[in-house]
């Protein structure tokens, strides 16, 4: 009996070549941001004073997750005398920890600027992950990122 119900159901459904995922139901990401898109985002958010800007820079420069940037404390960023910087990521996705090292002069300067005269126990990005993600969505729309429109249209269906 189940097979006949299944075939009757499949006969009544029209399938299309385009898959539209349900919004808020699936956490998999199918869209990726190119370097050009990221540069547009940085240019658009240039005059913003939000702490989310630092999170976006950390994500772009070092490949951090948004949740990692919002947990990052100033004591986790170590600037060494020999010209390289290490970022200690503690309790990341799946409870893993890792260390990111760089000697790129612009990355070292960026980290030196954001860590100067700060208390070690304070967070680098003192807002939550949801606020950062909302900031990114808002500024992606302002920058004219085309792929964001497809997601909005799928949510409206």
Would you place residue 77 in the very low, low, confident or very high pLDDT band (cuts 50, 70, 90)? very high
CA-CA distance, 71 to 146, in Å (whole number)? 31
Would you place residue 12 in the very low, low, confident or very high pLDDT band (cuts 50, 70, 90)? very low
Q: What is the pLDDT of residue 101?
A: 92
Q: Which one, of 135, 156, 137, lies nearest residue 148 by Cα?
A: 137
Would you place residue 76 in the very low, low, confident or very high pLDDT band (cuts 50, 70, 90)? very high
For 84-126, give the DSSP string. -EEEEE-S-GGG--EEEEE--HHHHHHHHHHHTT--TTSBSS-
Distances (CA, A) of 70 to 90, 133, 147, 150: 12, 11, 26, 28
CA-CA distance, 109 to 31, in Å (whole number)? 31
- Overall average pLDDT of the 117-135 stretch: 88
Answer positive or negative: Cα dihedral of 108, 111, 113, 115: negative
**From the CB of residue 73, how many other CB atoms can be counted at a distance below 10 Å?**
15
The per-residue pLDDT of the chain, averaged, comes to 76
Question: Residues 6 or more apart from 115 whose CB is under 8 A from it?
Answer: 74, 77, 79, 124
- What pTM was computed for the model? 0.68
C-alpha gyration radius of the chain = 21
Q: What is the pLDDT of residue 13?
A: 43
Domains in the chain: boundaries: 51-155
Q: What CATH number matches the domain at 51-155, 2.40.70.10, 3.90.15.10, 3.90.400.10, 3.40.50.300?
A: 3.90.15.10
Higher pLDDT, 89 or 10: 89
């Amino acid at each position: 009996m189940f097979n006949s119900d299944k075939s009757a159901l499949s006969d009544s459904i029209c399938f299309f070549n385009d898959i539209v995922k349900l919004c808020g139901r699936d956490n998999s990401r199918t869209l990726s941001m190119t370097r050009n898109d990221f540069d547009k985002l940085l240019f658009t958010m240039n005059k913003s004073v939000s702490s989310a800007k630092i999170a976006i820079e950390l994500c772009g420069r070092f490949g951090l997750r948004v949740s990692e940037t919002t947990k990052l404390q100033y004591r986790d960023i170590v600037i060494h005398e020999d010209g390289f910087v290490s970022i200690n990521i503690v309790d990341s996705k799946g409870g893993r920890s890792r260390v990111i090292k760089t000697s790129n002069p612009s990355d070292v300067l960026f980290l030196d600027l954001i860590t100067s005269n700060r208390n070690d126990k304070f967070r680098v990005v003192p807002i939550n992950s949801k606020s950062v993600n909302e900031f990114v969505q808002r500024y992606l729309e302002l920058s004219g990122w085309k792929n964001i429109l497809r997601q909005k249209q799928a949510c409206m269906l």
